[in-house]
Amino acid sequence: MNYLLFMLKYQIMAFLTQLLPVCASALGFSYALPNEFYPLGVPLGGFLCLVPYFYALKTTDSWKKGAVIGFIFGILFHSTSSWWLANFKDYALWTLGATSVFYGFFYGFWGIFLHFAGKNRSFSLITRQTLHSKQGDPFLLALVWTVMEWQKSNGYFGFPWGLLPYTVHSVPAFIQIADITGVYGLSFLLALSNATITEFISHKGTEAQRKKRNFQVSQNSLCLSGFVRGIFKNILLNPGIPVVLLFLIGTLGYGFWRLAHPAPVLRTIPLILVQHNIDQYYFEDEALASAISLSRQGTAELRAQGTEPAMIVWSETVLTRPYKGNHYYSDHRVIPFFEDSDIPILTGAPLVSESIQGDSGEIYNGAILVQRGKIISGYAKQQLIPFAESIPFGSQPWMRRFMDQFVGFSSGWAQGSEAVVMEIPGLKFGTPICFEDAFALLCRDFIAGGAEVLINLTNDSWSQSVSAEIQHLAAARFRAIENRRPLVRSTNSGCTVLIDTQGVVRSSLPLFTADYLALDLPLQAGNPTVYFLLGDWFPLLCTAIITLFLYITAGRKFLCRRYKGQS
């Protein structure tokens, strides 16, 4: 009995000790992303932050523990990197608490696959291994991580936040490869770096191998040349490191080449972006007054320079009720500024569809283009935030009762179905709303429809945090690079910016200030990118390689069992 208690205590203590690096990794990952201490994040952290997590998964002795480790990693990482979700009105328990549990299960599920990938001994593409090696394969681990981030970023529950590539968003030369592989090429490269370092520090070969890897301090190695020789010897005994370095050098080389050869500017379009910095849901009149005042100031500035603005851009849901001219909603407050303006105004506003019964139909979170009081065009948001803008099974009474009782609301926006491309003289543009500029395929659809620029309308003011604003910017950068089209963000409180086709911020407003940004939007020539032509081909390739590996592994095991049975 005492022996059993001792063994149980030993197992528990060993597992708790194993959780320490998991917690360190989750916190390190959050710290590498844009945060309150370092608003742009810590790029170097992207190459190192997962090492403790991968090490824990590799050294655990069962897939069940791998799932638990992944669950704990997911909860801690999501709650610390997206802590600002707690500021979403009065729904902190739901927006942060429930989503943290959800992503705990998500990472727990993928923790099983990462565990097997970390302990795999038979997949050897970049390391000199045999079937009898005790070393895992960083390549397979990186493939699984890439597919995991791809799955996290797509579908109804898609949340492309906290991805590994966002740690390096502020390094333009490193992220240019996104026009070929999309953001997931960087997911693979950074995960491969973490996995290779993990294998380097955890490898337990023979005593002779360990002695070869250790740096021998002697009279001959005290000099600089001896130290350098020791480093190169150590690297050569771990072939994964040169491969990773080769990938990094190739990625940076391509990036510097792209930065040195920007596409020529064909023409510029004068725009005014308005950042009114007032929560319109609580102070509607003040928000409208501020937006109108700033619009007039920006128009006056451009006209003083001899330029007529081509368009004024407001942010998401500046109008909290449908503007007049929508189906069955003709009594919205009259805004003389809209009625009198010859300049087209792009703003967020609810859109209302026509129902078969002749009553007011479904309501969408939308963007409308208004000129002289008339709606020229409109777009309904397609990617809704689950449980905030859209309720799964929302038509079912049991779900409505549950949401009313535990959350406080049970209705949401209707879902749009078309990437509408709007047009003013000299410019065609798409209008991803809120976090839609984080969805690569959705933004690609706008470009496929003829959009020359993406204009994102966002209201992140509720977050009350710098990290939330910069994390959103980090995701948006990649959309400009993937399609080689400029991206403009007009927001309530930030980041209101112009991002060029190389993902570089060219103009911006300070966060949480009421101001306008008068700019000349450069439209650049350029051929369709590989990503635009092929979409998410890279994570699909990763999935195919993993599937092929599983098929080959299963075949080997089957043949081995059959051979043993015959012998």
- pLDDT for res 560: 64
Does 434 qualify as catalytic in the annotation?
A: yes
Looking at 149, 199, 316, 469, which residue is catalytic?
316
pLDDT value at position 315?
95
314 φ, ψ to 5°?
-100, -175
CB 227 within 8 A of CB 216: no
Question: Which pLDDT score is estimated for 551?
Answer: 81
Whole-angstrom distance, CA of residue 272 vs CA of residue 345: 10
Determine the pLDDT at residue 409.
59
Could you confirm whether 381 is annotated as catalytic? yes
pLDDT means over runs of 10, the chain (567 residues) = 58 68 94 94 95 91 90 95 84 79 94 86 45 61 96 91 96 96 97 91 53 46 49 54 88 96 92 94 87 94 94 93 63 72 92 59 88 90 80 66 62 84 95 95 95 95 91 96 96 94 95 95 90 96 91 69 60
Distance (Å, whole) CA 419 – CA 421? 6
Burial class (CB in 10 A: 0-12, 13-18, 19+), 15: middle
The C-alpha atoms of residue 201 and residue 238 are separated, in whole angstroms, by 10
Q: Look-up: residue for tokens 């990649």?
A: 478
Residue-wise DSSP of 505-558: EEEE--TT--EEEEEEEEEE--PPPHHHHHSSHHHHHHHHHHHHHHHHHHHHHH
Specify the pLDDT at position 411: 60
Own/partner pairs, 446-449, CB within 8 angstroms, 24+ separation: 446/419, 446/421, 447/483, 447/485, 447/532, 448/419, 448/532, 449/419, 449/420, 449/421
User: What is the predicted pLDDT for the residue at 470?
Assistant: 95
pLDDT at position 10, please?
Answer: 53
d(C-alpha 390, C-alpha 102), whole Å: 16
DSSP for 143-169, written as a single string: HHHHHHHHHHTSSTT----S-GGGGGT
Which of 58, 119, 434, 482 does the annotation list as catalytic? 434
The closest of 517, 443, 429 to 476, measured between CA atoms, is 443
- What's the CA gap between 44 and 93, in Å, rounded? 33
Catalytic residue among 65, 199, 381, 436: 381
Helices (H) and strands (E) in the chain, counts: 19, 12
Q: Catalytic residue at 316? A: yes
Query: Whole-angstrom Cα distance, residue 259 to residue 278?
Result: 37
